Amino acid sequence: MGSTWFLPRDLHPAAWWVWALGLATAASRTTNPWLLGLIVAVASLVVIARRGEAPWALAFRLYLVLAGFIVTMRVLFRIIFGGAEGSTIILRLPEIPLPAWAAGIRLFGAVSAESVLGGFYDGLRLATMVVCLGAANALANPKRLLKAMPAALYEVGTAVTVALSVFPQLAESVLRVRRARKLRGGTGKGVRALRGIVIPILADALDRSLLLAASMDSRGYGRAGVATTRARAATGVLMIVGLLGVCVGVYATLDGSTPRYLATPVLVAGLVIAVLGFRAAGRRVHRTRYRPDRWLLAEIVVAASGVAVAVVMFGTSRVDPTNLNPSLITLSWPLLSWPPLIGVLIGVTPALLAPPPLELEKAPA
Amino acid sequence: MRMRFIAAAAAVVLTAVASPAYAIDQSKGKPGFCPSATGVTVVVDFQDLGGTTIVRCFPSASRGTGLDALKGAGFQIAGVQRWGEGFICRVENRPSAVEIVPAQGKQNYRELCIDTPPGSAYWSYWHAGNNCPWVYSQWGIKNRDFIPGGFEGWSFSLNKTAKTNPQPRIAAVRPGAEGRTCNATEEPKPTTNDPNEQQQPQPNTPPGADNGGGDGDPPAAEPPPAPATSAALPLPRPRNSASPTAANPALSVAFTGGEQAEDVNKVLRRQSGASPYAPWVAGAAVVLLAAASWWIARQRRRARKA
């Protein structure tokens, strides 16, 4: 087995998603900048070491830019809308007086280090989660993900896959249009150049959607089969209600500050309804799969490393939550203990143990 | 790109956090009761949490909010993440993140200071004029001014109702100023539900008007002059000076000035098992990972070109 382990191949996309969601879950549990920075570094290393040559793999840089934007905006908002929580004033801006109906809102004024740091920590948490999702998008092949969906999930899966791959596809469009412009010697700048880029991208997106729709149609997606209209409507309602419930439940479970009655009860109810919907949908769809992706040991290792990061962070937040949300009352370096630090470092396993991706020229067409 | 981002993030943290953590602020405030009518005495009673009640003085001659008093007296506090310092969830690190609070209806409850604490386990906020009974504050800590020469009380309310909220077990009487009449005016209740509503300035004695001896009693019969700014509010009425009095100071519980209290940052480090080396290792790991990313990216680029 040792000889075949590192043969280049595409990993099962679900393994990458489990790994990335594990990291994102861990990030959602903490505002400690040490841990968040480490998660970003871990995700980036794995992406750079194991991404393929596909267009969606190149979009990772955009997620990093987006993450930087999120952090900047959070800090800016703290500066604009009153950042005087705490005693270490680092910047004194003139305060803009607002009319009485805007009471409670403050524009500018004194800015404290505590507020800015609070905004930075909070923004960094969201940014880290975005980077984790970007890592999953860069590593997992969305087309293979769609293929791996169980039959009952086809309709939902198609929508989700299309939604998830919009951003990477857009990134690829941008790259292609820019390359084409460069080849044509287009050097315009400013608004004119923007028009020259945006319109081809939009046209490209529209063309692709039509193409995708046509190809899906010809492959029998959305086939109603023998089901009656009423049965199909009932199935659709069950699925949507169930999935909404699952979304709310998962959010409430992950976010510690949401009321608990939204967590487990809604999640379980949503799951039950969704399973009913899936069973109804699955009964009328029969699809076979050509050379399905297999779930091998490497997939288990990758998925388990992501889950391990999340589990360690959950365990820490139960047992020893002091350092996961560093106090901003007295300014100090955020403290850190060993367990979460080691836990996050487990996430780097795929960079070493996942099989390398197929190179473009060697990949089957 | 990513390296630049991380470097920028590190630079922000470095510049922003360069000031050292201070110790329990023996530098701020003074232990024990305020010796004069200048400043405000802050009482922190841990009640059912256990621990010796702490009394400290914020010797400020100027006005300030309840938050100013609490911090100025040297107490180390934490506000919930959601509301910031407007909602205090820990005083002197109690209840700490590792302490299980036996709150009713909550199994293994720990105060994580993320959202508003439950009504069965929270720090209740009291105030009192000198020689006056404690009053449960109708205002938020940032929304009212402390009474110069008076008292601010923090008392942990565990499994109590609005009726049975425990007042601080220290009589609001400054030593050396016993036997005077209570002259604190009754504070008007908030008129709106807006949590940002600010209490109108109260016609208290100008702070620092007397130096130690007297309490600066205004003539009790005369209603205090209405402040120009609060024309819309009813006049604060002076209390009937005969009936309300503070509890007998002889019945107060034992207290300290917090002289022996350990620095909260040190306690936190011990409780959390934080290691002084862990942040260094984390920083080194980030740098190492970034370097490895850069190296791998270069290798792969070369392999692709070859």
The answer to whether B265 contacts chain A (CB < 8 Å) is: yes
The nearest CA of chain A is from the CA of B235 a distance in Å of 23
The nearest CA of chain B is from the CA of A269 a distance in Å of 23
| CB proximity under 8 Å: B 176-205 to A | 194-197
The nearest CA of chain A is from the CA of B140 a distance in Å of 14
Residues B186 and B284 in one domain: no
| CB proximity under 8 Å: A 136-195 to B | none
Nearest to B98 among A42, A116, A322 (CB): A322
Q: Do B282 and A341 touch (CB under 8 A)?
A: yes
Residues B150 and B14 in one domain: yes
pLDDT (0 to 100) of residue B224: 37
Residues A137-178: tens digit of each pLDDT: 888 887 777 777 766 666 667 777 677 667 777 777 888 888
Q: Do B85 and A85 touch (CB under 8 A)?
A: yes
Assigned token pair, A13: 């996309």
Residue from B277, B293, B305 whose CB has the most chain A CBs within 10 Å, to mutate: B293
**Hey, what amino acid is at A270?**
G
Q: Do B279 and A335 touch (CB under 8 A)?
A: yes
Residues A89-124: tens digit of each pLDDT: 777 777 777 777 766 667 777 788 888 888 888 899
Chain A residues with beta carbon closer than 8 angstroms to that of B2: 40-41, 44, 64
Residue partners of A296: CB distance under 8 A and separation at least 6: A12
Residue from B142, B272, B295 whose CB has the most chain A CBs within 10 Å, to mutate: B272
Q: Do A336 and B282 touch (CB under 8 A)?
A: yes
Q: How far apart are CA B113 and CA B287, in angstroms?
A: 32
By C-alpha distance, the chain B residue nearest A106 is: B196
Q: How far is CA A60 from CA A33, A205, B4, in A?
A: 21, 19, 15
Q: Are A305 and A346 in contact (CB under 8 A)?
A: yes
Q: Which residue has the tokens 């604190």?
A: B184
DSSP annotation string for B242-276: SS--PPPGGGPPPEE-STTPPPHHHHHHHHHTB-S
- Range B263-282 average pLDDT: 78
The answer to whether B20 contacts chain A (CB < 8 Å) is: yes
Omega prior to B225 cis, within 30 of 0? no
Residues B136 and B284 in one domain: no
B208, pLDDT greater than 60 = no
Residues B282 and B237 in one domain: no
The nearest CA of chain A is from the CA of B64 a distance in Å of 14
pLDDT (0 to 100) of residue B159: 87
pLDDT (0 to 100) of residue A64: 92
Nearest to B274 among A53, A68, A323 (CB): A323
Assigned token pair, A72: 């900047």
Percent of all residues in chain B with a pLDDT value above 90, rounded to a whole number: 7
Q: Do B275 and A338 touch (CB under 8 A)?
A: yes
Determine which of A180-184, B105-109, B173-177 has the lowest per-residue pLDDT on average.
Answer: B105-109
Establish how many alpha carbons lie within 13 A of residue B149's alpha carbon, considering only the half-sphere containing its beta carbon.
Answer: 28
Residues B70 and B92 in one domain: yes
Widest Cα–Cα separation across chain A: 74
Q: Partners of B90 in the beta sheet?
A: B78
**Hey, what amino acid is at A134?**
G
The answer to whether B102 contacts chain A (CB < 8 Å) is: no
pLDDT (0 to 100) of residue B288: 93
Assigned token pair, A99: 């009319």
Q: How far apart are CA B28 and CA A95, in angstroms?
A: 29
Nearest to A331 among B17, B85, B194 (CB): B17
The answer to whether B78 contacts chain A (CB < 8 Å) is: yes
B220, pLDDT greater than 70 = no
CB atoms within 10 A of CB A151: 16
Q: Are A169 and A56 in contact (CB under 8 A)?
A: yes
Q: Are A177 and A204 in contact (CB under 8 A)?
A: yes
Per-chain mean pLDDT for chain B: 73
Q: What is the number of domains present in chain B?
A: 2
Chain A residues with beta carbon closer than 8 angstroms to that of B17: 113, 117, 331-334
Residue from A48, A91, A346, A358 whose CB has the most chain B CBs within 10 Å, to mutate: A48
- Range B286-290 average pLDDT: 93
Which residues in chain A land under pLDDT 50?
360-365
The answer to whether B96 contacts chain A (CB < 8 Å) is: yes
Q: Partners of B78 in the beta sheet?
A: B90
| CB proximity under 8 Å: A 251-280 to B | 256-257
Q: Do A322 and B268 touch (CB under 8 A)?
A: yes
The nearest CA of chain B is from the CA of A153 a distance in Å of 36
Q: Do B285 and A38 touch (CB under 8 A)?
A: yes
Q: Do B114 and A34 touch (CB under 8 A)?
A: no
Determine the structural domain holding residue B306 and report its residue range: 277-306
Q: What dihedral angle (degrees, nearest 10) is formed by the CA atoms of A118, A119, A121, A124? A: 180
Tell me which H or E stretch contains B30. strand B30-31
CB atoms within 10 A of CB B129: 25
Chain A residues with beta carbon closer than 8 angstroms to that of B88: none
Chain B residues with beta carbon closer than 8 angstroms to that of A341: 278, 281-282, 285
Nearest to B278 among A85, A338, A351 (CB): A338
Q: Are B41 and B174 in contact (CB under 8 A)?
A: yes
Assigned token pair, B168: 């601080």
- Candidates A132, A129, A130, A138; CA nearest to A43 is A132
Q: What dihedral angle (degrees, nearest 10) is formed by the CA atoms of A82, A88, A93, A95? A: 40
Report yes or no for ipTM above 0.85: no
Residues B68-97: tens digit of each pLDDT: 888 888 888 888 876 777 888 888 888 887
CA quadruple B109, B115, B118, B121: dihedral positive or negative?
Answer: positive
Nearest to B278 among A103, A116, A341 (CB): A341
Assigned token pair, A67: 């993450």
Omega prior to B95 cis, within 30 of 0? yes
- Range B18-42 average pLDDT: 69
The answer to whether B1 contacts chain A (CB < 8 Å) is: yes
**Hey, what amino acid is at A102?**
A
Q: Do B289 and A35 touch (CB under 8 A)?
A: no
The torsion region of residue A60 among left (phi > 0), alpha (psi -120 to 50) and beta comes to alpha
B12, pLDDT greater than 60 = no
Q: Do A325 and B114 touch (CB under 8 A)?
A: yes
The nearest CA of chain A is from the CA of B157 a distance in Å of 22
Residues B105 and B240 in one domain: yes
SS3 label, residue A56: helix
Q: How far apart are CA B221 and CA B200, in angstroms?
A: 22
- Range B125-148 average pLDDT: 86
- Candidates A254, A130, A332; CA nearest to B17 is A332
Nearest to A38 among B195, B286, B293 (CB): B286
| CB proximity under 8 Å: A 210-249 to B | none
Residue from A34, A35, A51, A319 whose CB has the most chain B CBs within 10 Å, to mutate: A34
The answer to whether B248 contacts chain A (CB < 8 Å) is: no
Establish, for the pair of chains A and B, how many residue pairs have beta carbons separated by less than 8 Å.
158
Residues B61 and B73 in one domain: yes
**Hey, what amino acid is at A282?**
G
pLDDT (0 to 100) of residue A187: 67
Q: How far apart are CA B65 and CA B237, in angstroms?
A: 21
pLDDT (0 to 100) of residue A23: 93
Tell me which H or E stretch contains B283. helix B278-305
Q: How far is CA A322 from CA A45, A334, B24, B89, in A?
A: 28, 11, 18, 14
Q: Which residue has the tokens 């008292």?
A: B151
